[in-house]
Structure 1
Amino acid sequence: MSNGAQNDAKKARDDSSRAADTDRIQLAQLLAYAAEQGRLPLKDYEDRLTRAYAATTYDQLEELRADLPGSAVSPVRGGKQNPAPSTLLLALLSGFERRGRWNVPRKLTTFTFWGSGVLDLRYADFTSTEVDIHAVSIMSAQNILLPPEVNVEIRGRGVMGGFDRTILGNGTPGAPTVKIHGFSLWGGVGIKRKARRPRG
């Protein structure tokens, strides 16, 4: 076999063992389920989650789930992402809360008017590698709580109010990127990285 053919064969093997974003997201969901069921302590869950997002091969992903019951990481490896439907969370003279385990869509709008809102992503299942949040707060307040590992980009602004821009930066390599934009008028949008708490 010529050197060129050998190189092509090696590249094909490497490509077939390379994990896709979809596989990392599916494993993250499996780990979250195991933690929710009490089969993974919080510290172990967060350690495996960090390693899952950084994984580049199927072998690395399989190693992280080998002792957990459930199906294979992905029945169809490298499948296309299937993000949850776009969502609107609305609080007009009222409030909304989204906490616990829920599917985070690729596009999410939060709107509060004389109300309040809490959007907690710490225990949620990401369904895509990028999340776009459009946050609007008018004469009201809303808080967005992010897990430590996500990457964050913020482009919001406050007019006679506040739009938190203090947590810009990188999280874990390979983790989802949360892009937050919008504005507040006589109100506030608070954005914080917050540690998960053990479930008791």
Structure 2
Amino acid sequence: MVNLPREDPARPISEDDRNTAVQRVQEAYAEGHLSHEEMDERLQQVLTAKTHSDLGPGLASLPEEDAGTSSTIGALGGRIQRRGAWRVPRNLKVESAFGSVRLDLSRAVFEHPAVDIELQVGTGRARITVPRDAIVDVEGLHTGWKDLRYKAPRSSGRGGPRIRISGTMGFGRLKIRHARR
């Protein structure tokens, strides 16, 4: 099946999703998993796909993405904190039942043009600082008790990473802000 996590099959795909799918097909060919003809056929399917379910045939039976592109950080209680020049994986899952979460992405190293962050936070708070030029998408985030605090900048970020935040915030509040520098 499609290895684009947490997406509704009927939802239209973005250019980032399409680029990721094309890259997976090309990598499978380079590693010898596909013949040249099969690569051409799958690229055609991926390039003409409109929804996530349309991507399925083009990505079916391909090897999974590199494990280095996904990571999970979890804690029952206490604090989860990442800051400084740390590498952000393509898919980051953050799980905290009772603690607080603080992710500072302002000086982080982005190896992918789009990053998916899935939050599963129970009663704690979460704060995410994103690069100044980042584009933030919070459509996939469900808040329980308190509303999300995020104000998109007036000027759209160009050249910065696209950060998609999804998941569930139980009784805590999520604050997202853009770095000043």
TM tier relative to shorter chain: 0.5 to 0.7
1:115 corresponds in structure 2 to 99
* SS class of match (1:192): strand
Letter in 2 for 1:167: A
Larger Rg: 1
1:146 corresponds in structure 2 to 130
How far apart are the structure 2 equivalents of 1:117 and 1:88? 13
Match of 2:70 among 86, 99, 124: 86
After TM superposition, give the deviation of residue 173 of structure 1 in Å: 2.1
1:25-174 pair list within 5 angstroms: 84-155=68-139, 156-167=141-152, 171-174=156-159
Q: 1:169 to 1:131 in 2, by over 3 A?
A: farther
> Structure 2: where are the runs of 5+ without partners?
1-18, 20-65
Letter in 2 for 1:163: L
Q: Is the 8 A contact 1:135 1:189 kept in 2?
A: no
Letter in 1 for 2:165: I
Letter in 2 for 1:189: L
After TM superposition, give the deviation of residue 114 of structure 1 in Å: 1.0
Q: 1:182 to 1:168 in 2, by over 3 A?
A: farther
Q: Is the 8 A contact 1:86 1:105 kept in 2?
A: yes
Identity of aligned residues (%): 27
In the superposition, the TM-score normalised over structure 2's length comes to 0.57
How far apart are the structure 2 equivalents of 1:124 and 1:177? 13
How far apart are the structure 2 equivalents of 1:84 and 1:171? 30
- Pairs aligned (count): 116
How far apart are the structure 1 equivalents of 2:75 and 2:158? 34
Comparing 82-91 with 140-149, greater Cα deviation is found at 82-91
Q: Is the 8 A contact 1:136 1:184 kept in 2?
A: yes
How far apart are the structure 1 equivalents of 2:74 and 2:147? 19
After TM superposition, give the deviation of residue 83 of structure 1 in Å: 9.1
* SS class of match (1:111): strand
Q: Is the 8 A contact 2:131 2:160 kept in 1?
A: no
